[in-house]
Amino acid sequence: MPFTGHITPMCAVAQALAARGHDVRLYTGSAFRHRVEDAGATLVPWQIAPDFDENDLSATFPRLIGKKGLGQLLINVQDVFIRTAPAQVEDLTSEWERAPWDAIAGDEVSVGAALFAEHAGGPWATVALLPLNLAGAQGPPSGLGLAPGRNPLTRARDAALRAAVPLISRPLRRPLARARSAVGLPPSKLTFDEVVFSPRLVVASGVPQLDYERTDRPPSVHFVGELRAPITAATGLPAWWGDLDGRRVVHVTQGTQNIDPSDLLRPALEALADRDVLVVVATGVPGRDELPFPVPANARVGGFLPYAQLLPRTDVVITNGGWGGVLAALSHGIPLVIAGGDLDKPEIAARVAWAGAGVNLKTGTPTAAKVAAGFDRVATDDSFRDGAARIGAELRASGGAPRAAELLESLV
């Protein structure tokens, strides 16, 4: 799917496959052409499917206007993921007829890839770029931001919630049925999270510690850690980069969606304005290197920042909880303060807190006081840094994109 948080790891996998001598095509939005080609792959752009702008989803999907929380999540799944799927299948069919491939791998919200694979047959894998949202027999359903129960009462809660999944996912049944019908597939009782996961191979970003160390995952699931490309020398560093020297650095990011800076960036800047730290803020939009309000003297702002160069110099990350950024921080052993308010962010925050690697603020719009309290906990309690270091070691040992490429080779 054409989102930066999906393209970055998928390009890493594409680059690893290309390095092993494979011909790789990446079907996604045209805005990512240069990133795809830099990875050694060929872009197959969305054509019949709407080639939307991730920073302005409501321009293409107007039902998202003014929506947050569960309402935003449901419309995202219905309109962005499911209702675009028939057009995705048309695009993929045209490319297949032009030049067939040996295997297809789609991320876990690429409904079009799943439906194409079911319709056309052939080897198909899922590359899970989000916290693993695979149904199982343990814990609560993923996505609710709930840690698995530890006593009879909370374990009973988990079982009741698992049983309620068909009811919870009822708003998705009709869009899924229509999408299947539009591409000539018969009706199915499979839920959304069952449709998008290949029964043969799931290459999962992350590690078991960030999946509550569940033991009910099928043997088709393989955790590979962080999916990132080999580190290259940074070019075009901000003019203020030298200010990081000798300073304690706190990185603040709100990701690339729901990027109203008043949600997290402003309260974080207020919380840390009088601290002896350098606050490095990413706006999440390339070229947008300023905020619409004054920033404290100890803050520096950029659009996108080179994590390979920034994170080794960072002490704490304050984030909205995007999975890619969380994995990148943890791979460097950096503890987190997470303000996850929408989509998969509450789930990510709960997993990081359960693993002891950060503080979950349990809101996407925290006050400055709440951010300050979270920062103080992470900065003064060594257990969070120890937890982040433990997960970081597991992430680095899991193989990353080269291991993902090796697994995908096994399809053929």
pLDDT, residue 266, reads 95
For 41, the token pair is: 């792959």
pLDDT, residue 235, reads 66
The backbone torsions φ and ψ at residue 104, rounded to the nearest 5 degrees and listed phi first, read -125, 140
CB 282 within 8 A of CB 305: yes
For residue 155, the surrounding DSSP H or E stretch is helix 152-163
Query: For residue 40, is pLDDT > 80?
Result: yes
Query: For residue 272, is pLDDT > 90?
Result: yes
Q: How far is CA 364 from the centre of its chain?
A: 16
pLDDT, residue 203, reads 98
* CATH 3.40.640.10, applies to 241-396: no
pLDDT, residue 304, reads 80
Query: For residue 69, is pLDDT > 70?
Result: no
Residue 74 neighbours by CB distance under 10 Å: 17
Query: For residue 259, is pLDDT > 80?
Result: no
d(Cα 60, Cα 50) in Å, to the nearest integer? 8
Mean pLDDT on 43-51: 97
**Chain length of the chain:** 412
- Of the pLDDT bands very low, low, confident and very high (cuts 50, 70, 90), residue 400 is very high
* Amino acid making up residue 135: A
Mean pLDDT of the chain: 92
- Of the pLDDT bands very low, low, confident and very high (cuts 50, 70, 90), residue 287 is confident
SS3 of 44, please?
strand
121-173 residue pLDDT tens: 999 999 999 999 888 888 998 888 889 999 999 999 999 998 888 887 888 99
State the residue for tokens 């449709």: 195
Write down the H helix ranges in 20-143. Answer: 33-38, 57-60, 69-75, 85-98, 111-120
pLDDT, residue 33, reads 97
- Of the pLDDT bands very low, low, confident and very high (cuts 50, 70, 90), residue 108 is very high
State the residue for tokens 């080794």: 312
pLDDT, residue 405, reads 98
Mean pLDDT on 247-261: 84
pLDDT, residue 168, reads 78
- Residue ranges covered by each domain of the chain: 4-229+398-409, 241-396
SS3 of 26, please?
strand
326-347 residue pLDDT tens: 999 999 999 999 998 877 899 9
For residue 282, the surrounding DSSP H or E stretch is strand 278-282
* Amino acid making up residue 14: A
Number of H helices, E strands in the chain: 17, 12
d(Cα 139, Cα 34) in Å, to the nearest integer? 41
Query: For residue 239, is pLDDT > 70?
Result: yes
Q: Can you state the angle between helices 323-331 and 382-396, rounded to 10 degrees?
A: 100
146-156 residue pLDDT tens: 899 999 999 99
Q: Do domains 4-229+398-409 and 241-396 have the same CATH topology?
A: yes
Distances from the Cα of 176 to the Cα of 102, 142, 182, 257, angstroms: 27, 20, 10, 25
Residue 235 neighbours by CB distance under 10 Å: 6
pLDDT, residue 258, reads 64
Query: For residue 244, is pLDDT > 90?
Result: yes
173-203 residue pLDDT tens: 999 999 999 999 999 988 888 899 999 999 9
Distances from the Cα of 376 to the Cα of 79, 192, 216, 298, angstroms: 40, 40, 36, 17
Q: What percent of the chain has pLDDT over 90?
A: 76
d(Cα 26, Cα 45) in Å, to the nearest integer? 8
d(Cα 342, Cα 67) in Å, to the nearest integer? 10
pTM: 0.91
Mean pLDDT on 399-411: 96
pLDDT, residue 311, reads 94
State the residue for tokens 């995202």: 76
* Cα dihedral 56→59→65→67 (10° resolution): -50
Mean pLDDT on 34-56: 95
CB 150 within 8 A of CB 355: no
The CATH T-level fold of domain 4-229+398-409 is Rossmann fold (3.40.50)
Q: Can you state the angle between helices 368-380 and 265-272, rounded to 10 degrees?
A: 60
CB 255 within 8 A of CB 5: yes
SS3 of 278, please?
strand
Residues β-bridged to residue 280: 251, 300
Q: What is the DSSP string of 197-213?
A: S-SS-EEESB-GGGGTT
